[in-house]
Structure formats: C-alpha cells, structure tokens
Chains A and B, each alone.
Chain A
Amino acid sequence: MMNLPLNITKTVHDWIFSIMPDTAATITIWVIVAAAYLALFAVAGLYLVLLERKVAAWFQLRLGPNRVGPFGMFQTMADALKLVSKELTSNDRIDKFLYNLAPYFVIVASLIAIGVFPFSQQFQAFDINIGLFFLFSVSSIGVIGILLGGWASNNKYSLIGAMRSGLQTISYELSVGLSILTMVLLTGTLQLSEIIEIQRTGGWLILQGHIPAVIAFMIFMIAGTAETNRAPFDLVEAESELGAGFHTEYSGMKFAYFFLAEFINMFIIASIAVVLFFGGWLSPFGITEGITWFPEFLWFLIKVLVVIMTMMWFRWTFPRLRVDQLLTLEWKYLLPINLVNLVIMAIVIWLNWTI
C-alpha cells in the first residue's frame, strides 16, 4: 500500500470518532456517506442530461443550451426546478399504491449499485468479496419498477410499452452477465478492488485478455446500451411509434425519477466497463503513480466520460431496430457468440496465453 497523504476518508473517519462516542460516530459516518452518494446521484444525473443535450447539438450542427449559466451549466437545474413545481396529474383509475411505488424501485436499484463502485483507492463505500455479483443482481431489480409503472398506469399502451421494455431488459441482462463472467474468469475474483489491483500489476484487463476480452467488450457495449433502453434500441419510447412507453402517465417529479434513472443506468454500465476492462482509477501506463497528491478519481471519471460519450454517439447516429430484430439479435447472435467466447477465454487461460 502506497503512502497516500491525501487520505481524506481516513482523516474524516478519525476526526469524527474522536469527537463523538462510538455508536453516534458510526451513524454519522453512515449519514455522511449516504448524503455524499445522493449528492453524486443528483449531480451526475443533472450533468449527464446536460452533456447529452450538448453532444446531440454538436452532432446536429447547432449549439445546444447556452443561455442559462456559462455554457448552459445551470440548464438542468432550471429544468429540475420546473419539474418539481409541476402539478402531479394522474388518472383516477390507476392503482395508487403501485403507481407511486414504481419510480422508487428504479432509483433504489441504481443507488445501491453505485454504492459498490471504486471511484478511487479510498472512495469506495462498500467493498465486499462478492462485489460484481452483488452489483449485477441489484441492478436487475430495476426491471420491476418498469413493469409496475406500466401496469399501474391503467393504460393499454403503457402496458404494451412496459412489457416490451421489460422483455428487452431481461434478455440483454443475459449478455451483460456472460461478458462480465468472461472477464471474471481472467481475474479469478469478484471483489472490485482486487480486480483493480490485478490490473495495476498486469496491465488493463482488455489488454491482458486480448482477443476474447475485446469480443467481450464489444458484446458488453451492445448489450449495455440495449439494457438501458437507449438508442438504437429505444423503440419502446420512440416518438414515432405509438404511445410513449411505460412512463406515459407519469408527470412532474415521478417522471423525472424515471428519466434520471435512465442516465444513472448509463453511468453504471459505463463504470462497469471501465472497472472491468480499462483499469478503473488507474492511470494509463502508470504515469501518475508517483504523484501522491493526484486525485485518482479523476482518471475514473475521465474514462467513464469517454465511454458515455461513445454511447451518446451511437444514439445520434444509428436508426432504430425493430422489436423483433432486437430480440433476434440477442437470442440468436449475441448469446451464442458469448458462450463460445467464454469457452475461448477459458482455453486461453488454461494454456497460459494471456499477456
């Protein structure tokens, strides 16, 4: 373990324990960590929306929001203020309990999932030894929120949209899981901080695993984009189709929850990709290893931003796939390729051909 003078967590931890009795200190630490994550969730959500709008504008030869604040930085805050003050309209024939419960499922699932990510050496809230497995299983809970939202709206088009959306998410989770499994074969551990340790000494996993890892990365990108219902797989919420999908009947803050959850899911997929394939918070070729005051989470954020901008690039370039083409892609193409890739990776490791 290197000597890290910028050891914020240890400093704060010691300070709080010194001024309060033990149990109160533990609870305070919990509250601080939770508040930090909620703040991260909110800020990341807001600025990802702004980034999407700006990137879309640049691809389309226009400027994007640039009035509210310098470079439009306060645009999403203005939008959030508007959404908060909106009237919450709804039918009187909805199933009230489920209708109000549905957005919370997606948010809670995303928030728990962010909790296990290693943003840097010290900024990791929950480092358990089944890290990846936990992450994957928790993010599957979000599907329930989508299906509940469509059912509780008492609107046949929302129900159809929710069914299609849920079906798409469940199918592509298989591919995501199998690509993650391929990389786990290489690392031998599910714990996220250990995965990054392995990459510090051996180089980024995508280089260590060469061919099967590159294939696994490509499948992961396709399946990850499909799982968060983003274009080119967003037929469910496309404007030129019928209805607006499962969130037709939601307005105001509840709609904002679904909307933010989509962006946070994108963040989660990008983070998994960065941790598993691109070395997490490690610098490329170790160029800032010696600089002890350098905040490593900057590397993590830069890599995540690059992956997110690639996903946005997909959205504004490709046309949409039809629903049956989407499912054909998953079940007939991605799944067999994934299984074969898994076997190839196993053979590569067994014969010691990794770099």
Chain B
Amino acid sequence: MKNEDLQNIINGFAENIEFSEEGSEFLNVIVPKEELHNVCSQLKSKSDLDFDYAFCITGMDWGKELGVIYHLESTELKHKIVVKVMTDDRENPTLDSVCDIWRTAELHEMEIFDFFGIRFNNHPNLKRLFLTPDWDGWPLRKDYVDEDNMIVK
C-alpha cells in the first residue's frame, strides 16, 4: 500500500499525529505518547494495515527528548512503516508498553529501560537486562558520563 494511502488511514486514528518522509526510506508516523497504545493496536488489528511484525524497536535520545522508534512490517501485505514516540521528561520518562500487541517488545523494552531509563506502563517484568542491578545511570543517553569505563576521543 502506498504511503499516501497509509497516511490517510492512520490520520483517522487520533489527533496530533505528524507524518514525515524526509531523511528516511519509510513513512514516519510521530505519535503523541498518550495515543501510542491506541494507534499501535489499530495498526495491528485493522485488516488493510495488518502490521503484525515489529522488526526493530529502538530507543533513542534526540538531545532534548527521549523516545522509542518502532519499525513495523506486515507479513501479508508487505508494507513497512516507522512509528516514533517521544517524551521530554528526562527525570522520569514513562511510556506505554506495547508488549500485549507485539510480544517481541517484552525483551526489547527491558533493553530500552536498561540503557535509557524509560519506564513502560503495564510491562510484566521491567528490570535491568544487560547491566548489573546496582548500576547507576543510563548509559546510552547522550549526557552519560563515566570516567572509568568510557574512552572519549
């Protein structure tokens, strides 16, 4: 399905959804964080969209905002889309979890919590995955400082 048609359908899911295609080969859908769960479950359940395969879930620090990027694909209809959600609360960032929609998100969201500190609501088992439980700080954030372990050029 072409990007314009996708854009038309998704525009109807909620308000304040932005679309962008610059700098990327896929259609980017930027969703406000309150609408994330609603939009995602409609992306999966609507039969002409049918995005059932989340092939990449990435945490991201844009400098001011933190957020998550979801790359989605439909195995039947073969179209791909990118959903971005961000929050500018750096002290206690919270987003909705999508692991009831795509079960692959369980481990991916644990990884994002481990590296960025973003908490996910309704996640069954949110805790640090790679780092030790008593680690201080969120390493993949841009303002992370660690004199012992990081070599800065």
Q: Is chain B in direct contact with chain A in the complex (CB below 8 A)?
A: no
Q: Which residues of A contact B (CB under 8 A)?
A: none
